[in-house]
Amino acid sequence: MQITFIQTLLIVLFSVFCIYDYLNTKLFYHCGQCVVMGCITGLILGNPVLGLQIGASLQLMTLGVAAWGGASLPDYPLGAMIGTIVAVAAGQNAEYGVMVGLPISVVAIQLDVLVRMIAVFFARRAKTAAMNRHMKSSYLWIVTGWITWALKYLIPLVLLFAVGPDRVVSLVDMIPAAITSGFKVVAGMLPALGIGILLRYMNAKSNISWVIIGFAMASYFGLSVTNVAVIGFAIALLVFMSSKQQMRTAQTVGGGPDNDEL
């Protein structure tokens, strides 16, 4: 597929907005950056389903992973965008897009480190201006720092469109089949790894019965992950309401807090 100039411009502008959202509103951050960015990139290119599939696959790799202590993580949202662009240009499936997006996400760690180092300069300038009560100057330094953050997405995307997605597709096709097969295996394992890390955060040992129920529903009843998630949400809501009612009952029976001494 030939990507037009208008589509290129829309994707670049969308990437800049994504950086703004990450630093400010965080709408995509809480709704699933990879899913949203992959889907909208696919929508711009005329194939939102493919973008959604690639974004969802990479989103699973982020489950339970957090940048503690300011550490840099693989930039899976950027991988979702570039993977979608290359997959659409090549006319390939989601597996092909994940195979392209995964190494891009890992390499982008270095860009993230570089941007964070540069952003410290602007942050200190903004802080100094604010301490001297030069608020306009402080706001200007903050906005300039935000533009610097936008380079994290602009540089890879501009390079991709400058070289041409078709040439990237040709380069990927030159990779030996053994290596591409390895990438596909890793791409299939990482979502399971992400879910495993997430289970550690959820204290699965104390809630192993619910884990077994969810596994049985997906395996033996053939329900999709979405169906199991909806049922799990309903059960969690019932348990929460039940525990809340028990607390109210206990307070009523006990007569509430004892304030006689006061």
Q: What separation in angstroms does the CA of 260 have from each of 249, 251, 252, 256?
A: 21, 16, 17, 11
Same domain, 129 and 244: no
| Cα–Cα distance, 106 to 96 (Å, whole number) | 16
Query: Would you state the pLDDT for residue 95?
Result: 80
Same domain, 74 and 191: yes
Query: Would you state the pLDDT for residue 73?
Result: 74
Answer whether residue 262 is part of any domain.
Answer: no
Query: Would you state the pLDDT for residue 238?
Result: 87
Same domain, 11 and 141: yes
Query: Would you state the pLDDT for residue 1?
Result: 72
Task: Answer for the pair 80, 41: CB distance below 8 angstroms, yes or no.
Answer: yes
Same domain, 161 and 225: no
Same domain, 54 and 18: yes
Same domain, 248 and 169: no
Answer whether residue 57 is part of any domain.
Answer: yes
Q: Which two tokens stand for residue 105?
A: 């996400």
DSSP 174: T
Number of domains in the chain: 2
Answer whether residue 78 is part of any domain.
Answer: yes
Answer whether residue 260 is part of any domain.
Answer: no
Task: Answer for the pair 190, 60: CB distance below 8 angstroms, yes or no.
Answer: yes
Q: Give the gyration radius of the chain's Cα atoms.
A: 23
Same domain, 91 and 146: yes
Same domain, 167 and 224: no
Same domain, 58 and 174: yes
Same domain, 138 and 96: yes
Would you write out the chain's pLDDT as a tens digit for each of its 262 residues?
Answer: 778 889 889 988 898 888 888 877 777 766 668 888 888 999 998 888 988 888 888 887 776 566 555 566 778 888 889 889 988 888 888 888 888 887 788 777 778 778 888 888 888 888 888 888 888 888 888 888 788 888 888 888 888 888 777 777 777 667 677 776 776 676 666 666 666 766 776 777 777 888 788 888 888 888 777 788 888 888 888 888 888 888 887 777 665 555 455 4
Same domain, 198 and 70: yes
Same domain, 136 and 232: no
Domain of residue 58 covers 5-202
